[in-house]
A = this chain, B = another copy of it.
Amino acid sequence: MNGINRRWVLASRPVGEPVAENFRLDSQPVPEPQAGQVLLQTLYLSIDPYMRGRMSDAKSYAPPVALGEVMVGGAVSRVIASQHPDYAVGELVMAYTGWQEYALSDGNGLFRLGDLVQPSLALGVLGMPGFTAYMGLLDIGQPQAGETVVVAAASGAVGAVVGQIAKLQGCRVIGIAGGAEKCRYVVDELGFDACIDHKAPDLATRLAEACPQGIDVYFENVGGKVFDAVLPLLNTKARVPVCGLIAHYNATSLPDGPDRLPLLAATLLKQRIRMQGFIIFDDYGHRFPEFLQQMGPWVAAGKIRFREHRISGFESAPQALIGVLRGENFGKCIVHLAD
């Protein structure tokens, strides 16, 4: 096959919020699959908050993207040439092939989508975000019927699923989202019991009013002022799965004092709270089949609803990530390259 493979590579590391100049669009020849390889064409590229972390070289759970290398990310792709005995041309797959229009694979890390009715779901409710929501809530949060569950970033790819699963468990579910429109969606479409707009004044007061019995599970996606409002409401024996801290990803320094690290430790002690970070595929990869077996029917039956924030055109990927980090997306952010 001849042609051009456009790729977004990391041009420089961001200081604070990423800017367009941190990314560079380059062009390479589309590679030729060798024996045992397939050539993939990217159809949908997933845009997720964790990508901000990979742009920095601070110590983290995964190595950073090297300067000049293709940005990381999951994608839904079509096999357009195959020298691999297990994959036929035309098949749809999901893989972490990064921000590029074409990629080679030897089959490692390829996930066959089969007859999935909407392939982009493999990047959302039936993919990493949905799996993150499922395991973080059920395995770490362990919600019991009647308990109060609070979900930050409630209209987002992970939060929306967390809240809906918590409702299926019989919990009272309070979302926190940015803006009246997202809050309406979270209550009216997703069925949360209430949703607090973190852009409105008095977040802490309004969250306390929405949680008269305190908080038993807080699914942490955000940090910042949202966590500050949650902390005094946490009940004895509360569980806090820590999935993300988007409010801090662009921070270049710690906030001003006083130093509340001892306050958090003392709250964990006095309230006997379990707070636990997790990285979904590292901690739970072996349970992905179990997740699909449960989530597939829930989605098919309309018990778990979802919303995609689609952006057209590969050239939009950097702006899409910048927008996600600002909370400008409304639903799971996906860049659509081809059908």
Contact = CB atoms under 8 A, between A and B. Distances in A.
Contacts of A266: 223, 245, 248
Contacts of A271: 61, 277
A300 interface: no
B227 A265 contact: yes
Contacts of A245: 262, 265-266, 269
A261 interface: yes
A272 B261 contact: no
Given A61-B236, A236-B61, A268 B261 contact: no
Interface stretch (A108-116, A178-186, A249-257, A314-322): A249-257
Contact of A278 (B251, B256, B259, B272): B272
Contacts of A209: none
Contacts of A283: 272
Contacts of A268: 242, 275-277
Given A271-B61, A275-B276, A254 B265 contact: no
Contacts of A279: 272
Nearest to A273: B277
A258 interface: yes
A244 interface: yes
Contacts of A258: 253-257, 259
A263 B274 CA distance: 17
A266 B58 CA distance: 12
A234 to B, nearest CB: 11
Q: Copy number of this protein in the oligomer?
A: 2
A267 B59 CA distance: 10
Contacts of A256: 257-259
A259 B259 contact: yes
Given A254-B257, A271-B61, A248 B262 contact: yes
A227 B259 CA distance: 13
Contacts of A19: none
A271 B262 CA distance: 19
A60 interface: yes
A255 B262 contact: yes
Contact of A272 (B236, B255, B282): B282
Q: Across chains A and B, which 5 residue pairs bring their CB atoms closest together, nearest first?
A: A257-B257, A254-B258, A269-B277, A268-B277, A260-B261
Given A61-B271, A242-B268, A259-B261, 12 more contacts: A61-B236, A223-B266, A224-B262, A245-B262, A251-B262, A256-B259, A257-B258, A258-B259, A261-B261, A261-B263, A268-B275, A274-B277
